[in-house]
Amino acid sequence: MDEAAIRETLSAVEDPDLGDDIVSLGLVNAISVEDDHVAIDLALGAPYSPNETAIADDVRAVLAQEYPDVEVELSASIDSSLDADEQVLPNVENIIAVASGKGGVGKSTISVNLAAGLADMGARVGLFDADIYGPNVPRMLGSEETPQATPDETIIPPEKYGMKLMSIDLLMGEDAPVIWRGPMVHKVLTQLWEDVQWGSLDYMIVDLPPGTGDTQLTLLQSVPVSGAVIVTTPQEVAIDDARKGLQMFGKHETPVLGIVENMSRFKCPDCGGEHAIFGEGGGRAFAEESDMPFLGEIPLDPAIREGGDEGKPMVLGEGETAEAFRDFVERTANNQGIIHRRRVSR
């Protein structure tokens, strides 16, 4: 048993998304063989995503079949294009921005449930509320804990549902209005992600304000966003604005993980009938027209509003709507992995 033999064995493992085996795709970074111990580093960058978890399981399975007495140690790493001293958040593996072209489409609901869903899968997650003028993420998580400061004046973020949380709302109070011009917004945002002890994270979810203004520009120019999620409702006016958000990320060469349609259909609890209150199929059609992945449809469910008001993310509950959120979370994580593996394989 040597490195060449291990590589030959691993060539039986197929990438479920890229259509070839992991050796041919260059997804095996390194192999170390010592006696009955094999250490393998794989080019996987979306921790706990179902498809990358399946790849790792398949690696273990083919090695166990070929070498039943060998101990296998797996690790995963994706090389960054930036040097460590150039990175604003070097210990954050993935930064996913959640954006919309207009307000009122439930972007914060999507952000909160995406972050909570990833954390529930086992990932190390941070949730950054970048909506300076209308922060509401803390309420949607039922978080009232005040961030603490260290002697060197860095901020220790509170934790909720297994994820670290930061919002201007936690520093100023929920009733304090924010009346700032663009340069001050840039300064505050930069301090909030640079001066917070985020630690090592698999994912940071950034809840952006609606539109394509100062906050979005600050984020895209300051931190290496690894993927973006575009939120829309089925109606045409929302899709028109979502299209602008998509173009914004394209101009900054930021990968878009896909389109998610919120407030898709309303299922009447009394009659059981479904009603397309905001239209239907708009988000899926927009994804097809833009050649972007479609991440799913989230129903218009009163329980989502109740969960947001009570600080209980719907994704952690039961029922069809909770399952729709979990499907969305899994697709988003899978697509983040595809972005990384496709870059490595080129």
Give the number of residues written for the chain.
346
pLDDT tens profile 277-306: 666 778 889 899 989 999 999 998 888 888
Which H or E element spans position 65? helix 50-66
Output the pLDDT for position 179.
46
User: Are 170 and 23 in a shared domain?
Assistant: no
- Ligand-binding site membership of 108 (annotated): yes
- Ligand-binding site membership of 102 (annotated): yes
Average pLDDT over residues 251-272: 81
> CA 187, CA 194: separation in Å to the nearest integer?
10
- Ligand-binding site membership of 227 (annotated): no
User: Are 24 and 115 in a shared domain?
Assistant: no
User: Are 59 and 112 in a shared domain?
Assistant: no
Q: Which domain holds residue 209?
A: 84-345
Q: Computed from CA positions of residues 43, 47, 50, 55, in that sequence, does the dihedral angle turn out positive or negative?
A: positive
> CA 108, CA 99: separation in Å to the nearest integer?
9
- Ligand-binding site membership of 26 (annotated): no
- Ligand-binding site membership of 187 (annotated): no
Residues with Cβ within 8 Å of 7's Cβ and at least 6 positions away in sequence, in order, are: 23, 28, 31
Whether the per-residue pLDDT at 81 is higher than 70: the answer is: no
Which of 53, 76, 99 terminates a domain? The answer is 76
User: Are 335 and 195 in a shared domain?
Assistant: yes
pLDDT tens profile 319-338: 999 999 999 999 999 999 99
CB burial string 142-176: b at 16+ within 10 A, e below: ebeeebeeeeeeebebbebbebbbbbbbbeeeeee
CB burial of residue 35 (10 Å; 0-12, 13-18, 19+): exposed
Which of 45, 76, 107 terminates a domain? The answer is 76
In this structure, what CATH number is given to the domain that contains residue 30? Answer: 3.30.300.130
- Ligand-binding site membership of 105 (annotated): yes
Phi/psi of residue 248, each to 5°?
Answer: -60, -45
Which of 24, 44, 76 terminates a domain? The answer is 76
- Ligand-binding site membership of 104 (annotated): yes
- Ligand-binding site membership of 250 (annotated): no
pLDDT tens profile 121-162: 999 999 998 876 667 888 889 887 888 888 888 889 999 999
The tally of domains found in the chain comes to 2
- At position 211, the amino acid (one-letter code) is G
